Amino acid sequence: MILEKEYIKNTTITHRKKFAQFFTPEPIAKIMCDWLLQDSDFSTLLEPAFGLGIFSRIILSKKQNIQITGFDVDVNIYNTAKNNFINNGNVKLHLEDYLYNDWNNKYDRIICNPPYFKFHDYENTKTLNEIKKRLNIHLTGFTNIYTLFLLKSIYQLNENGRIAYIVPSEFLNSDYGKKIKEYLIKSNILRHIIVFDFKENVFDNALTTSSIILLAKDKFKKNIQFSVVSNKIELDDIKTIINNYPKSSGQISISTKNIDPNIKWRKYYQIQQSQKYKNLIPFKQVAKVVRGIATGANDYFTFNIEKANRYNIKEENLLPCITKSKDVNKPFFTKSDFAKLKNNNAKIFLFDGTKNQDKYTLKYIKLGVEKGIHKKYLTSKRKPWYSLENRPPSPIWVGVFNRTGLKFVRNEAGISNLTTFHCIYPLNNLFNTIDIDLLFAYLLTDIAKLIFNDNRREYGDGLKKFEPNDLNNALMLDLSILDTDTKEEIIKLYNEYKNSVLNDNENNRIIEKINDILRKKYEA
């Protein structure tokens, strides 16, 4: 990958990030090319996100008499690639956006490492409308652009053609991925999904949670195979799987008719922790999870004492609120913790212009208008724009992102929170009432966190995320079946643990005891 190394050396990281330029590691690129070459009867190849053409270079080293078409939108990388292939008349490069061009052409082979842009980083409305017009697929506005490349490539595949894509595995377990998975199943060409679950970055600049999608428009339409690769050595197993196609030789093989596009596909390729336990119920039966307050303009709405004094904003216009996850470093957040943050001038208030409209409040509202705050996406939908979402303080918070495990916090200060945390509201009704101390004791255990992890979303470098419905729809142990003595024992241990935390002498062995009690009661 000398060409890629030279380009990285001579191109700023800012430029590469702007165009989402991540180069496929050569060992992985070779595996993807092996899939295309396993049946060598083809004459045309498409690279929708050409970059420097690593796939084409590998293919040409083994099969020269083919016509290659490539697209890219960055003039810098386009010129570098064009100069590299200048003596090969079979390679046609286009400085154009693949998603808006070349819809009428079909190809025998398509291979791609598409750009990774979230919905707010590209013209998603225009692009989604193009996909809707061409493919009659109605996609959510949160759809990542790499999946649009995949959909268009499927449309452009010839009979007996093959596709190899490397993409983040995010869409396999996200809400926006449902329509993508549905299209993959209906197209009857999905053959294998290889998920990388590296515990560390074994390739320079590579995401730890990528996946290779292998597709073939052939007569073998019965099963979809799943494989998980956790180290470099296991890459050789993938080569064997490709060489054995169409014989099923992946770790997991599932009939297409048994694949559900509406669920997280992690279920098909990873052991579900919930399977280890009995007497499980959906979490939404005992609590409701909703996101925290979204202001739409945190810089304007968040306050500390210094800012309040500067603008003469009265305390009745300031809603006590946790605005940053780092401000909460213990499982219990008390009024004393809030007072410490206040004294340290932390941003722990939200401006609410509806409570008291003296001349200073009106002046700050006017400042917001001058800065265009009232025209932002969320504020423009509120009446008045300077009001806050009606979100009562929840007794339990849960962190949105994590790398080491879910972060649950008991909100004993009774204050609000921004979207850095989700709100958990325990349900109290005739059918399901649970003691909040018992519930929180359970949430602190490894068992609870592992079962919730079955419903997580994964990003690069071990980052995990939970949307509210990921938690609402997750499973938990049915605590209502516990006998009174066991409940009392857990509550007693919980109070001991709470006191240890509040006395700055956290004793995690107490939580381990609760974990052991639950394991003995619920292990399948």
> What are the tens digits of pLDDT across the range 425-439?
999 765 566 899 999
Domain identity same for 380 and 513: no
199 shares its domain with 304: no
Provide the edge-to-edge strand list for the sheet that holds 464-465.
401-402, 464-465, 457-458
Residue 119: pLDDT above 70?
Answer: no
**CATH code, domain carrying 22:** 3.40.50.150
Rounded to the nearest 5 percent, the helix, strand and coil shares of the chain are 40, 20, 35
With contact defined as beta carbons under 8 Å apart, do 23 and 4 qualify? yes
Torsion on CA atoms 254, 255, 258, 264, rounded to nearest 10: 40
User: Does the pLDDT value for residue 204 go beyond 70?
Assistant: no
- For the residues 122-147, what does the mean pLDDT come to? 89
Instruction: Specify the pLDDT at position 252.
Output: 87
The answer to whether residues 346 and 321 touch, using CB atoms and an 8 Å cutoff, is: no
Element (H, E) at 484: helix 484-502
User: What integer pLDDT is reported at residue 448 of this predicted model?
Assistant: 97
Per the structure, how many domains does the chain have? 3
Q: Are residues 152 and 266 in the same domain?
A: yes
Q: What is the pLDDT of residue 200?
A: 54
Its domain, for residue 346, covers 295-388
Nearest to 186 by CA among 136, 236, 126: 136
Domain closes at, from 388, 405, 428: 388
**Domain stop point among 388, 413, 430:** 388
Q: Are residues 135 and 214 in the same domain?
A: yes
Residues with Cβ within 8 Å of residue 106, at least 6 apart in sequence: 156, 157, 158, 161
* 8 A C-beta contact, residue 91 and residue 68: yes
Asked if pLDDT for residue 120 goes beyond 80, the answer is no
> Which residue blocks in 109-166 are alpha helix, DSSP H?
124-135, 145-155
Question: What letter does residue 152 receive in the DSSP assignment?
Answer: H
Confidence check: pLDDT of 424 > 80: yes
> What integer best gives the mean pLDDT of the chain?
91
Q: Do 32 and 86 sit in the same domain of this protein?
A: yes
Mark whether 380 and 409 lie in a shared domain: no
* Residue 307 and residue 379 in one domain: yes
On the question of pLDDT at 469 being above 70, the answer is: yes
Instruction: State the CATH number of the domain containing residue 452.
Output: 3.90.220
Angle subtended at Cα 403 by Cα 272 and Cα 422, rounded to the nearest 5 degrees: 85
pLDDT at 68 over 70: yes
pLDDT higher than threshold 60 for residue 92: yes
Specify whether 146 is located in the same domain as 23: yes
User: For residue 63, is pLDDT > 90?
Assistant: yes
* Final residue before a domain boundary, out of 368, 388, 408: 388
* β-pairing verdict for 401-402 and 464-465: antiparallel
Per-residue pLDDT at 14: 92
171 and 70, same structural domain?
yes
pLDDT (tens digit per residue) in 365-405 = 999 999 999 999 999 999 999 999 999 999 999 999 888 88
What's the average model confidence in pLDDT over 307-326?
97
Average pLDDT over residues 230-240: 85
